[in-house]
Chains A and B, each alone.
Chain A
């Protein structure tokens, strides 16, 4: 069973920040949070991951709450090409398996 809960869909205006929430209230201390996105008819693309500290890379920022029960993926300046389904995944250290939830379908509007 997926260990994450995400809103099914969100809209964001082009050029604005897109904030995608993820609830993982049963997360354990040794479980990482991974974010991927899937553009229509393609394989998922890795975005970012973290354990407890906030992380930033060239694509996005990941904000994890202090209790680690939720996180937010931030795309700072959304473009039309960011329209995709975004998946938040919790993975236990020492294991390989990803369990995909239903994700959030983000639509960036011109």
Chain B
């Protein structure tokens, strides 16, 4: 089945630093990738949708200057949390698909802890 790899799986860093999370589709070309955020014991919340080679579409309430998304190739999207603060601590999950009529395939998530 389709495989999506997310890296790193866990990151702990100091307040004020920027953190980059990578999402790769390993065996298919991901024309569309998605970034979600999940708080403990809560459901996934879509943050943004990105298509290869174009600007990401952010959901209402998500700061695009805070969460920078780049989808430069058909197999890689990155999410950069800029100047991270403790309230940005969360579980970030990416997903990818090559067609609208195909299921999204999810990475295993990145647990971000800001001290």
- Chain A: residues with CB nearer than 8 A to chain B? 2, 34, 36, 38, 41-46, 49, 87, 93-103
A-B CB proximity, top 10 nearest:
A43-B106, A46-B103, A100-B44, A100-B43, A44-B106, A43-B108, A43-B93, A43-B109, A43-B107, A42-B108
Interface string of B42-86 (1 = CB under 8 A from A): 011110010000000000000000000000000000000000000
Is B106 a contact of A93 with CB atoms below 8 Å?
A: no
**A47 vs B11: C-alpha distance when bound (angstroms):** 29
B87 beta carbon closer than 8 Å to chain A: no
Question: Secondary structure of the B side of the interface?
Answer: strand
How many A-B pairs have beta carbons closer than 8 Å: the answer is 55
Interface string of B79-113 (1 = CB under 8 A from A): 00000000000010111010011011111110100
> What are 26 contact pairs spanning A and B, CB under 8 A?
A2-B43, A34-B103, A41-B111, A43-B4, A43-B93, A43-B94, A43-B106, A43-B109, A44-B95, A46-B1, A46-B103, A93-B100, A93-B101, A94-B100, A95-B100, A96-B34, A96-B97, A96-B104, A97-B49, A98-B46, A98-B104, A100-B43, A100-B44, A100-B46, A101-B43, A102-B43
Q: Which residues of A contact B108 (CB under 8 A)?
A: 42-43
Report the minimum CB–CB distance from A67 to chain B (whole Å): 23
Q: Which residues of B contact A87 (CB under 8 A)?
A: 43-44
Q: Assuming the A-B contacts A43-B6, A43-B93, are A96 and B49 also in contact, with contact meaning beta carbons closer than 8 angstroms in the complex?
A: yes
Report the minimum CB–CB distance from B47 to chain A (whole Å): 12
Total interface residues in chain B, CB < 8 Å: 26
**A103 vs B80: C-alpha distance when bound (angstroms):** 28
Q: Which residues of B contact A101 (CB under 8 A)?
A: 43
B25 beta carbon closer than 8 Å to chain A: no
Give me 19 other A-B pairs in contact (C-beta within 8 A), A43-B107, A93-B101 excluded: A34-B103, A36-B106, A41-B91, A42-B108, A43-B6, A43-B109, A45-B106, A46-B1, A46-B104, A46-B106, A87-B43, A94-B100, A95-B100, A96-B49, A96-B104, A97-B46, A100-B44, A100-B45, A102-B43
